[in-house]
């Protein structure tokens, strides 16, 4: 390969993090998210059915998670991300017509396929890009910046979304879906501009043992297993609370507009936090930082539950809710950095997605419990989440000495 071609490739590779940053930003416009539970209820679903949609999500993830990332390791990161972008466009289109549980379930299934194609693949593309550029030491900062992309439009879109859908009527929801469709098409276009990084492609290994090697790594690495369990349980805590917080706050007196403005302010704080993740507790090893954030999450849930019983003020409750979500936001780049360093380059996407596959299996019983609890008192899922958070924070905490393995 000539020097000119190498130079051009390096230039294209250096654009990868920026292109993926904006692709992720558009992917996360999701203006519907700020009122999605209210939208489901408007279209005739019950709150329990909303939770069962989450179970559909997990089941589809279990089916497609590993195959999608095997494709990423064998077929290429870029092509897999393009496939995920197409699935995302199709699921948004379905929302125009969805009016019963099964059509929504199909939309969620496509969304899960899209997520599976991005899961692990996007992280692996960034990490392998930095590896080829010999800038692995900058991978955590790059991942933190990448995850902050989720906040770019999320700072703005909640406010715009709630002003559009302030009356929660059909025509307003259609406008929001149309905006989300344009953003999804923008994501697809940007993904086509990525440069595929090298990722130590050993064809013989890929044909014979990519998935087996990834499974063996997870099976034999106690630190990685602990990481999966830790991340899974705390994700479920956040997910249960996210899935119905809109209805909860509206029911106790917060206006839809106030909810959108409050969520935008939270996203701004989250954006600042993820942009500067390397400077937060920077003298501590990454597992210790995660443990501290887990403790913060437990405190926030406990404060939320206590406030519910003592003084049910929607705005104070929202502050505690934001604390729970903020801890979740700051953990993700740290989890990703550990996972990438432990896995090997040639099967990195498969290893990361096998972790998500195991997480999806663990999700199912916890989501099912959430679906049952939400049909009772609105505070029950928060108490359940608090118990789970306590267990994982104090009984399954991460141990720094388990995560000293360097990537291959």
Secondary structure, 3-state, 175-213: HHHHHHHHHHHHHHHHHCCCCCCCCCCCHHHHHHHHHHH
Q: HSE on the CB side for 94, CA within 13 Å?
A: 18
Number of Cβ within 10 Å of residue 316's Cβ equals 15
Please give the distance of CA 39 from its chain centroid, rounded to a whole number.
Answer: 21
Q: Which of 14-18, 55-59, 255-259, 344-348 has the lowest mean pLDDT?
A: 344-348
- How does residue 185 score in pLDDT terms, banded at 50, 70 and 90? very high
Is residue 9's pLDDT more than 70? yes
pLDDT score for 149: 62
Question: What Å distances lie between residue 116 and 52, 110, 132, 344, CA to CA?
Answer: 19, 10, 24, 20
In a domain, 181, yes or no: yes
SS3 call for 134: coil
Is residue 43's pLDDT more than 80? yes
In a domain, 251, yes or no: yes
For the record, the structure tokens of 44 come out as: 């005739």
Q: Report how far residue 113's alpha carbon sits from residue 315's, in angstroms, rounded to the nearest whole number.
A: 36
In a domain, 408, yes or no: no
In a domain, 78, yes or no: yes
Give me the number of domains the chain comprises. Answer: 1
pLDDT score for 140: 63
Is residue 405's pLDDT more than 60? no
pLDDT score for 408: 38
Q: What is the CATH number of the domain that holds 144?
A: 1.20.1250.20
Q: Report how far residue 291's alpha carbon sits from residue 100's, in angstroms, rounded to the nearest whole number.
A: 41
pLDDT score for 21: 82
pLDDT score for 407: 40
Rg (CA), the chain: 21
Q: Report how far residue 28's alpha carbon sits from residue 154's, in angstroms, rounded to the nearest whole number.
A: 7
* Contact between 347 and 121 (Cβ < 8 Å): no
Question: What Å distances lie between residue 397 and 74, 114, 344, 386, CA to CA?
Answer: 34, 31, 24, 15
pLDDT score for 136: 62
Q: Report how far residue 202's alpha carbon sits from residue 210's, in angstroms, rounded to the nearest whole number.
A: 10
* Contact between 388 and 369 (Cβ < 8 Å): no
* Contact between 382 and 323 (Cβ < 8 Å): no
Q: Which residue has the higher pLDDT, 138 or 160?
A: 160
Q: Report how far residue 262's alpha carbon sits from residue 249's, in angstroms, rounded to the nearest whole number.
A: 11
Where in the sequence is the domain holding 192, given as residue range(s)?
3-403
Q: Report how far residue 230's alpha carbon sits from residue 43's, in angstroms, rounded to the nearest whole number.
A: 35
Number of Cβ within 10 Å of residue 3's Cβ equals 7
User: Strand runs (DSSP E) across 62-123, as ranges?
Assistant: none
Sign, Cα dihedral of 31, 236, 58, 345: positive
* Contact between 197 and 125 (Cβ < 8 Å): yes
pLDDT score for 390: 80
Is residue 236's pLDDT more than 90? no
Where b means 16+ CB within 10 Å and e means fewer, 237-270 reads bbbbbbbbbbbbbbeeebebebbbebbbebbeeb
Sign, Cα dihedral of 245, 27, 62, 405: negative
């Amino acid at each position: 390969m000539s020097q000119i071609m190498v130079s051009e490739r390096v230039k294209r590779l250096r654009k990868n993090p920026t292109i993926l940053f904006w692709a992720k930003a558009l992917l996360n416009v999701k203006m519907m998210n700020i009122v999605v539970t209210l939208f489901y209820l408007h279209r005739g679903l019950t709150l329990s059915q909303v939770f069962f949609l989450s179970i559909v999500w997990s089941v589809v993830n279990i089916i497609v998670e590993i195959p999608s990332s095997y494709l990423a390791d064998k077929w290429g990161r870029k092509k897999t991300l393009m496939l995920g972008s197409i699935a995302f466009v199709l699921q948004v289109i379905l929302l125009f017509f969805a009016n019963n549980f099964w059509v929504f379930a199909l939309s969620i299934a496509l969304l899960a396929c899209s997520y599976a194609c991005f899961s692990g693949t996007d992280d692996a593309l960034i990490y392998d890009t930095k590896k080829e550029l010999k800038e692995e030491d900058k991978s955590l900062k790059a991942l933190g910046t990448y995850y902050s992309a989720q906040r770019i439009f999320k700072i703005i879109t909640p406010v715009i979304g709630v002003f559009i859908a302030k009356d929660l009527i059909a025509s307003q929801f259609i406008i929001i879906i149309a905006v989300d469709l344009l953003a999804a098409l923008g994501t697809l276009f940007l993904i086509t501009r990525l440069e595929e990084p090298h990722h130590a492609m050993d064809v013989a290994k890929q044909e014979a043992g990519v998935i087996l090697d990834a499974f063996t790594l997870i099976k034999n690495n106690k630190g990685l297993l602990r990481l999966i369990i830790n991340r899974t349980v705390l994700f479920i805590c956040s997910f249960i609370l996210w899935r119905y917080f809109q209805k909860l706050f509206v029911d106790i007196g917060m206006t839809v507009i106030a909810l959108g403005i409050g969520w935008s302010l939270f996203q701004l704080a989250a954006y600042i936090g993820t942009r500067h993740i390397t400077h937060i507790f920077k003298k501590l090893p990454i597992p210790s930082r995660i443990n501290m954030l887990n403790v913060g999450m437990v405190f926030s849930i406990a404060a939320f539950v206590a406030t519910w019983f003592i003084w049910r003020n929607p705005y104070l409750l929202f502050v505690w809710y934001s604390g729970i979500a903020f801890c979740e936001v700051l953990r993700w780049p740290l989890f990703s950095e550990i996972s990438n360093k432990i896995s090997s380059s040639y099967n990195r996407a498969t290893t990361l997605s096998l972790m998500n596959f195991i997480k999806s299996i663990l999700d199912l019983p916890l989501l099912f419990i959430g679906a049952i609890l939400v049909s009772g008192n609105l505070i029950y899922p928060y108490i359940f989440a608090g118990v789970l958070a306590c267990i994982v924070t104090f009984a399954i905490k991460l141990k720094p000495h388990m995560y000293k393995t360097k990537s291959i």
